[in-house]
Structures are given as C-alpha cells and as structure tokens.
Structure 1
Amino acid sequence: MTVDRKHTFSPEEIEARLKADLPHWRLEDGWIRRTYKTNSWKGTLMVINAVGHLAEAAWHHPDLTASYAWVEVRLMSHDAKGITVRDFALAQKIEEVVMWQPGAAPDAPLEGTPQHDLRFSYLKYD
C-alpha cells in the first residue's frame, strides 16, 4: 500500500490526530505548531540544530521562530497547500528527539542533564 504524501487532512482530522499523537502541538493558521521552552539561548540553539538535522534528513523543512528561551516549530506542506502525513511524521520525530529525557527512568544508564542547575539544564520538559 502506497502512502499519498500530498493528501491534505481536514481541520477536524488534524485536531483528532494531534490530540491522539501530538498533544503538545496545535493547529493554528493552517500550520501545526509546537513551542519548545528552553532555559537559555544555548538551549534554544540546541533545539534549532536538532530540528534542522531532522528536517534536512527528512527533506521536509519547517518554519522556525526563535527567541532567547523558546523555539516555535511550524509545519505545513507547501506543495500540497495543507497538512499531510509528512508533517505529522516529522512532528512526531521532532517531538521524540527534542523531548527525550534519558534520565527519566530510575535505573536509566544515561542520567540526562541536571535539571536543578541552570548552567547545564537547557530544555524545559512538559
């Protein structure tokens, strides 16, 4: 079964899919959007670079807006003039990578950045 990469979803379908799979994302002005809050410019740049790597690897590029302590990611398939499976797929991968918390499990082998020390903590996890 082939996937129609240019099929656009209705606003109702988009809202349902976001609610089910990407609860921190929202539909606004024809884009699916997510704002990642960071603790500093360093964190903001790290999020931008992670998103940039994923977008380039996927060959599907979001629009980004950034400030000192946040990054907004906006996805829409320009060639299809709407939200497609490509937007959901990239949003899911961005969410997975950016919000990864290696130290979340008590016996995790990777401890993750210290959240209590702002010199090291860079992302504000949901």
Structure 2
Amino acid sequence: MTPFSDDQIETALTGLPGWSQEGEAIVKSYEFADFDAAIAFINRASGCINELDHHPEWTNVYNRVDIRLLSHDAGGVTNRDVQLARILERLAAAS
C-alpha cells in the first residue's frame, strides 16, 4: 500500500467537504445535536470500521467527534483512509 502524494490527497478531499490534510493525515470534526447523537454516530460507524479493519484515531467531547485518518503501516494517507472518510460522511449525513 503506497501513501498518497499531497496532490492525490488534495484531489481525494475535493469530494469530502470539511476534511483537510494535517501533516500525514486527513482530519475532520463533526458536531452533533448533543452527546447522545455523537455517541450514536460512533456506534453506527464501528461496524463499518471493523469490516474495513481500519480504525481511526478519534476523540469525543460532548457533541463533537474529531477524527484523524492515517494508514500507519503505509506512513501516510491511502485509499483506505479516503474510503473510510466517505463512509463516515454518509453516516454523519444520516444522523
């Protein structure tokens, strides 16, 4: 698995509003109505995350979920990270 170049990351993020590159990762913060909604999003995402066997770095503070995606074994952002970001976008939109 080869990490994306900065240009490839920029192109991939074009279709992912709110996502940005931060160092060797892509990041986004989601805000929900309240704590319960944020936790419901995390719970819905866990199944897809386990299926991909690609686990994000994320934190939850009240109604916010901050996500950082990076393929550690590849040393940067890969297609796997972009795929997971797309899934998370769909799940957040359905919240």
**Could you tell me the TM-score, scaled by structure 1's length?**
0.70
Unaligned runs of 5+ in 2: none
In the alignment, the residues of structure 1 paired with residue 44 and residue 28 of structure 2 have an alpha-carbon distance, to the nearest angstrom, of 14
List runs of 5+ in structure 1 lacking aligned partners: 1-5, 101-122
Structure 1 or 2: more helix by fraction: 2
> Quick one: percent identity of the two aligned structures?
34
1:64 Cα offset (Å): 0.6
Shift of 1:82: 0.5
Q: Which of 58-67 and 91-100 deviates more?
A: 91-100
Which residue is equivalent to 2:45? 51
Structure 2 counterparts to residues 26-37 of structure 1, below 5 A: 26-37=20-31
Letter in 1 for 2:27: R
Q: Does 1:11 align with 2:42?
A: no
1: CA distance between counterparts of 2:10 and 2:39?
Answer: 29
Counting only pairs closer than 5 Å after superposition, residues 1-126 of structure 1 correspond to structure 2 as 6-19=1-14, 21-100=15-94
Contact 2:56 2:67 in 1 (8 A): yes
Once the 2 structures are TM-superposed, how far is the Cα of residue 71 of structure 1 from its aligned partner? 0.1
Question: Do 1:8 and 1:80's aligned partners in 2 also have CA atoms closer than 8 Å?
Answer: yes
Bigger Rg over Cα: 1
The structure with more strand, counted as a fraction of residues:
2
Check conservation: 2:41, 2:91, Cα contact below 8 A: no
The 2-side partners of 1:65 and 1:42 are apart by 14
Q: Distance in 1 between matches of 2:55 and 2:66?
A: 13
